[in-house]
Amino acid sequence: MNIHSYPPILLVEDSPEDFHAAMRAFQKAGLANPIIRCEDGDEALEYLFCRGRFAPPADAPLPGIILLDLNLPGTDGHEVLEAVKKNGRLKKIPVIVLTTSCEKMDIDRCFSEGASSYICKPVDLGGLMNAVQRLKEYWFEIAVFSKE
């Protein structure tokens, strides 16, 4: 696979600590995909819908996967998930919820809103690295995506 065939991963994460831990885990897992970070739900929607500073679509390449925290300032993760799944251009992008909540209510709500997967964010770096390695194996080595 050449560098141009690695779709970007959109990571929607407001916590700088969690973002840096995720970046270390991505690096250790050997993910070659470019990582695009949005720090809140509003920025994620601007990116996905090519608005504001992302207005030229060339400045906002469509991600191959969205990793989405639920607890975001402003527009929360549920609202981002709903907007993605209601949009014809975006709805086939897998959205993997990666959040601290392991509450059944949140899990059920995310799946009813169209989440592709739900991962309770591990509290330690080793657990996060393990989760990212499994994520890489499934989503980038095993899963088959729509060509549309």
pLDDT at 46: 96
pLDDT at 2: 37
Which parts of the chain fold into alpha helices (H)? 16-29, 41-48, 77-86, 104-113, 125-136
pLDDT at 147: 64
User: Under CATH, which architecture does the 11-142 domain have?
Assistant: 3-Layer(aba) Sandwich (3.40)
In this prediction the pTM is 0.91
∠ CA 47-134-21, rounded to 5°: 60
- Residue 33 CA to residue 10 CA, distance in Å, equals 10
- Residue 111 CA to residue 97 CA, distance in Å, equals 10
pLDDT at 3: 40
Q: How do the domains of the chain map onto residue ranges?
A: 11-142
Question: Burial letters for 114-135: b for 16+ Cβ neighbours within 10 Å, e otherwise?
Answer: ebbbbbbbbeeeeebbebbbeb
pLDDT at 123: 86
pLDDT at 102: 94
- pLDDT under 50: residue ranges of the chain: 1-4
- DSSP state letter for 129: H
Which among 59, 61, 53 is positioned nearest to 33, based on CA atoms? 61
pLDDT at 4: 45
